Structure 1
Amino acid sequence: MSMGKRYPLALAALAALLVAGCAQPWQNFQTGEPESAVIARLGPPREVYDLPNGDKRLMWPTQPMGEVTTAADIDPSGKVVTVRQVLQVNELYKAQIGTWTKRDVLLNFGRPVETAYFPLMKRQVWTYRYQEDNVWYMLYNFYFDDQGILRLTQKTPDPMHDPGLGLR
């Protein structure tokens, strides 16, 4: 094989190695591992919630400035059920309008980066930063009525990453 053909192959192999070496915090965990193994790798969780099924959820958010929250579900015997990144579209879209409450949003996504109340709408909004398709920096908003029931969701560009959208 000539040098001209080996060079692109070597670059492709190097790129694949670099990508493989960039495992995300929620990757490389096995079902059944002890909770202590997750904590040893990720550090103490910043949020811990008891789930309705008896499991508990440990969370490692990167907010207020980051777009990632790693969540580990641990069964009652202290074993890993799942570890995943929860601030992504396939997780955010699970929220059920008219059914979910503030507690459901908290259990699934952790504490919001920001909260606000809109008196004319009679809605409280919880905001989370996330990155859509690993490209677009976005805000995901959950709007709750005065009884704490989810009534609306909305996604918008994150002005922190687009100075043209910010206030001047």
Structure 2
Amino acid sequence: MIRNKPAYTPARALRAVLALAVLGTLGACANMSQLPPGTPLSQIEAKYGRPNFSCPDAGGGQHLIWTQQPMGQYAWGVHVDAAGGTGKVTLLLSDEHFNLLSKGTWSQERVRCEFGPPAVIDRVGLPSSDQLVWSYRYRQGSVWNSLMYVYFGHDGSHVTHFNPGPDPMYEHDRWSMF
């Protein structure tokens, strides 16, 4: 049986307004990657606002992060040296960047300082073998509404594995077209 949906509902109008707002935000963020290395931090902050997360780098610098977590799908980072010089602005929530997790040992603090705070922190599994999992919302392949699940094992000391999966927040939208 096919249901006829009304052409206008307040929920649809709200969704349309939110979609336009998100697109506007994404457009602003997309330009962030076009900033050349060495752009003064004051110029970056004047255009994109202050970063909402930072961690100290080795050598006295800072790793600054502009993140849309927990609800958005993008985060951008830049390393600033002790003299205030900026490096390349990097898209942090991408398959390519998440692949860094496969190299070396990653503690919770190291993951937070590289990718920013996660959208969701949870535990999964049986009580005797549960694992700490951090989930980051992102656009897998720049297309799919996804979560990157980062597992820290039972004791939470280091990353044991990571994998992407569909973001359940968007499940309703995926099936609403039918």
Compute the TM-score of the two structures, normalised by the length of structure 2. Answer: 0.74
The 1-side partners of 2:30 and 2:73 are apart by: 13
Q: Is the counterpart of residue 73 in structure 1 residue 79 in structure 2?
A: yes
**1:134 aligns to 2:108 (yes or no):** no
Alignment partner for residue 152 of structure 1, among 155, 158, 161?
Answer: 161
Which residue of structure 2 aligns with residue 11 of structure 1?
none
Compared CA separation, residues 122 and 52, structure 1 to 2 (3 A): farther
Pairs aligned (count): 146
Identity between Structure 1 and Structure 2 (%): 28
**SS at structure 1 position matched to 2:111:** helix
Structure-2 change in CA distance of 1:60 and 1:117 (3 Å): same
In 2, Cα distance between equivalents of 1:136 and 1:147: 28
- Specify which structure has the higher proportion of helix: 2
User: 1:142 and 1:23 mapped to 2: Cα distance?
Assistant: 24
More deviation in 40-49 or 156-165?
156-165
- Cα root mean square deviation, aligned: 2.3
For the 8 Å contact 1:74–1:82, the answer to whether it is kept is: no
Return the offset for 1:153: 0.8
Q: 1:32 aligns with which of 13, 34, 38?
A: 38
Q: Which has the higher strand share?
A: 1
Where does structure 1 differ by over 3 angstroms across 4 or more consecutive aligned residues? Answer: none
Whichever residue aligns with residue 129 of structure 1, its letter is R
Match status 1:108 vs 2:118: no
In structure 2, do the counterparts of structure 1 residues 31 and 143 end up closer, same or farther at CA, with 3 Å as the change threshold? same
**Structure 1 portions without partners, runs of 5+:** 1-20
Given that residues 25 and 70 in structure 1 are in contact (C-alpha distance below 8 angstroms), is that contact kept between their aligned partners in structure 2?
no
